[in-house]
Amino acid sequence: MDRRPQLDPRALPPGTPVGPWQVADWRGCGSYGTVYQAWKQGHERAGPVALKLAHFPEDKRFDRETALLSRIHHPHVPRLLDFGHWRHPSGALYPYLAMEWIDGEPLYAWGEVYQPTSRQVLRVLAQLARALAATEAAGGMHRDVKGDNVMVLPGELRAYLMDFGSGIWAGAARITEEVLPPGTRPYRTPEALRFHWQHRLRRTVRYEAAPAEDVYALGVTAYRLVTGVYPPPATEPAARDDDQRPTTPTRSPPQVLNKRVALPLAVLIERMLAEDPEARGSANSMAEALEEAAQSAGPEADVPLFNAKRAQETPSAFKELSSVAEQKPVHRGLLWKMAPVLGVLFVGTWWLSRMPPSRPVAQVEAQEATEATVGLAHAAVTEPVGSTEVPPGWEGVALDMPQRPLPGQLKPDASGRCPGRNHTSLNGGCWRALKGGEDKCAEDENEYVHKGECYAPVFSRGRQPTSDSAQDAGSP
């Protein structure tokens, strides 16, 4: 019997060779890949690269990401340096990508720590829109634009659009079976959510994403950046069959939630969030509008979006909110009681107290104080970036399988196995398959859909699951 330790692609020790690269340090782990800092053997002076290694042999997602990145050459997209396959001692081949190392800050953390102005945010958004325009010009779409997939170099005010693992290009083969393509739920467009609602029980129907959806996701990202909360869900399912009712819930303009947001920025965010895809315009036209606004905006665009006190108190307040969110749902009454700690995270407690009961409260993303700001790791580790309460009308719709384990959920051992006989390892967590398929799912608040089947998470003993701890991350 071979008793030698088996190499796990999720935890390679320093010094492990992967193609011409040598692993230097572990940087982050997502659902489908782990990112390492690596150096080219014999060329250490050339600097580090971000080495992204697949968790599963012959993972087609890496082939598609490689093909898309090879088509895009843009100063705000990390350069693809190399790709290939790492041979495991068992003989299995695991694909890898080597990319330009981006040593910056994740977008939302940058906003909290560096106190940008509206003009600086306009410039960062313009750079991201240019990256999307380049992706569209190459015949592709990103399909997962969000704060976690953006890195900013603070000193240069330079932004990078990261993690094209969910991307696609014209003519590429589909590799998922869900109705909707990969994505993160708070960033879904009205048209995508309406389609999902109408065809959720028809497994043969597939939604085709369009470039305007990347523009919408950029709008959600911008809204979250300048207000600290997500906009309400893009559609109201209860109005789906009523032509007399608007399908888009009322959304507070960014300036209502944050008086410091300059009007040109607020107007363009609202344009990106338009219900009509044509009203959003192309990524190229949006980039031009953002650049023009950054150039012509008045002195009000040079006011920091958040005060210094908020920046100093944010880390501890984030930890407090994260701890509460993992234990039980966060209601407005609790937030009011915690106002001394959480007040700096929101525009004001007066706004929270005046919110109508039917409107979901967006929770601010939990930012761990120990999180390292390291290059591509933040992008490749597909972290959900917050959550919203289940909107009225969606209570009976099962959630998509999250892309990482839920808090307290059991995880498979080093061999990828879960302890229970009927337990399955999915997306880094242990799950129990339920009978009935997707149409019978969602009878319980902790049921999730994966490839048309219904699953329940398996938790450690003594841990009671809570629905608010689940964070939507779209389909795989």
Per-residue confidence of the chain (476 residues) as pLDDT tens digits? 445 457 899 999 999 999 999 999 998 887 789 999 999 988 878 899 999 999 999 998 899 999 999 999 999 999 999 999 999 999 999 999 999 999 999 999 999 999 999 999 999 999 999 999 999 999 999 999 999 999 999 989 999 999 998 888 777 777 766 778 778 888 998 888 888 777 767 767 888 888 999 999 999 999 999 999 999 877 665 555 555 656 667 789 999 999 999 999 999 999 999 999 999 999 999 999 999 999 999 999 999 998 765 544 443 333 333 333 333 333 333 333 334 433 433 333 333 333 333 233 233 333 333 233 333 433 333 333 333 333 333 333 345 567 677 766 788 887 778 877 778 888 888 888 876 554 445 434 456 777 667 888 887 643 333 333 333 333 33
Positions of CATH 1.10.510.10 in the chain = 105-309
Q: Which CATH number fits domain 17-100: 3.30.565.10, 2.140.10.10, 3.30.410.40, 3.30.200.20?
A: 3.30.200.20
> pTM of whole model > 0.75?
no
Tell me what pLDDT residue 198 has: 77
**For 3, phi and psi rounded to 5 degrees?**
-100, 10
The alpha carbon of 35 is separated from its chain's Cα centroid by a whole number of angstroms, namely 16
Positions of CATH 3.30.200.20 in the chain = 17-100
CATH class of this structure's domain 105-309: mainly alpha
Question: CB 245: neighbour CB atoms within 10 A?
Answer: 10
With beta carbons less than 8 A apart as the criterion, state whether 124 and 159 touch: yes
The alpha carbon of 65 is separated from its chain's Cα centroid by a whole number of angstroms, namely 17
The span from the CA of 434 to the CA of 441, in Å, is: 8
pLDDT in tens, 379-429: 333 333 333 333 333 333 345 567 677 766 788 887 778 877 778 888 888
One-letter identity of residue 89:
P
Tell me what pLDDT residue 349 has: 34
**For 278, phi and psi rounded to 5 degrees?**
-70, -30
Query: Going by C-beta distance under 8 Å and a sequence separation of 6 or more, which residues neighbour residue 179?
Result: 195, 196, 199, 200, 202, 203, 205, 206, 207
In what side-by-side order are the strands of the sheet with 17-18?
17-18, 21-29, 33-40, 49-54, 93-100, 80-87
The span from the CA of 105 to the CA of 113, in Å, is: 9
The span from the CA of 146 to the CA of 143, in Å, is: 9
β-sheet bridge partners, residue 455: 433, 448
Tell me what pLDDT residue 139 has: 92
With beta carbons less than 8 A apart as the criterion, state whether 46 and 37 touch: no
Query: Going by C-beta distance under 8 Å and a sequence separation of 6 or more, which residues neighbour residue 177?
Result: 203, 451, 452
Q: What are the distances in angstroms from CA 397 to CA 180, 205, 307, 414, 450?
A: 14, 17, 40, 33, 13
Tell me what pLDDT residue 429 has: 84
Tell me what pLDDT residue 307 has: 78
476, exposed or middle or buried, with CB in 10 Å at 0-12, 13-18, 19+?
Answer: buried
C-alpha torsion 100→76→404→193, nearest 10: -150
Tell me what pLDDT residue 245 has: 58
SS (H, E, C) the chain: CCCCCCCCCCCCCCCCEECCEEEEEEEEECCCEEEEEEEECCCHHHCCEEEEEECCCCCHHHHHHHHHHCCCCCCCCCCEEEEEEEECCCCCEEEEEEEECCCCEEHHHHHHHHCCEHHHHHHHHHHHHHHHHHHHHCCEECCCCCHHHEEEECCCCEEEECCCCCCEECCCCCCCCCCCCCCCHHHCCHHHHHHHHHHCCCCCCCCCCCHHHHHHHHHHHHHHHHHCCCCCCCCCHHHCCCCCCCCCCCCCCHHHHCCCCCHHHHHHHHHHCCCCHHHHCCHHHHHHHHHHHHHHCCHHHHCECCCHHHHHHHHHHHHHHHHHHCCCCCCHHHHHHCHHHHHHHCCCHHHHHCCCCCCCCEECCCCCCCCCCCCCHHHHCCCCCCEECCCCCCCCCCEECCCCCCCCECCCCCCCCCCCCCEEEECCEEEEEECCCHHHCCCCCCCEEECCEEEEECECCCCCCCHHHCCCCCCC
